[in-house]
Chain A
Amino acid sequence: DVKVTQSSRYLVKRTGEKVFLECVQDMDHENMFWYRQDPGLGLRLIYFSYDVKMKEKGDIPEGYSVSREKKERFSLILESASTNQTSMYLCASSSPGRVDHEQYFGPGTRLTVT
C-alpha cells in the first residue's frame, strides 16, 4: 500500500518562528510536491522537486524554502512564520515513469501561526 506521511497533523507556531514540515514517501517516487490548501482557492503549488537536491518554484514560493537531501524525504521550511501562512499543507509524490502522472497525497498538516 502506497504511503505518504507527514510529520504532524496539527501544528501551532508563533509569528517569527522557523517551522519545519516533513514529508516521507515509501514508493521510491522521483517527484515530490508541497501545496497549501485554503478555502475557495484549492491547492496551490509552493515547490516541487524532481530529484534529490533539485527543486523548482511553484506558484507561491515566497516565504518558503525546501530541502530534499534524500529521495524519500521532502521538507518545507518557513523561515519566519507569519499569520498569513496559517493553512493546510499537503505533501504529494509521483513517478514520472507512470503514464497517468498520479499524485499520492499525505493527510496534511494544519498549521496555525499566532
Chain B
Amino acid sequence: QVQLKETGPDLVQLTQTLSITCTVSGFSLTTYNVHWVRQPPGKGLEWMGAMWNGGGTDYNSAFKSRLSISRDTSKSQVFLKMNSLQTDDTAKYFCARGTQPEYFDYWGQGVMVTVSS
C-alpha cells in the first residue's frame, strides 16, 4: 500500500538548516510527484514545493532561495532542506503524494519541528 514517512529533527537552532527525509513505498518517484506542505501550530496548510516525477522541482516563492528539494530514486526518498530558520518556521512538515492535476491523495504523518533560539 502507499505510504509516506517523514524523518527529521524535532528541534533546530535559530538560523540553522532544517533537513527532512520523506521515504515512500507503494509507488515510484518516477511516476508520481511528491510535495512538501507545512502547518504551524494551530494554523492552516502552506504549500512549500514539489519534486516532479521527471526530476524537476518547483518552489513557493515565499521561501525564496532558502528551500531546496532533491531525491534519491534508488532509495525512494525525497529530501527537504531549508536554511536560515526563524522561529516562525516552527511547524509540522508533511510530505504528500501528488496526483495530476496535483491533488494530494496520500500524506505522511508529518514531523513537528521547533525552531529554538
Answer yes or no: do A and B interact: no
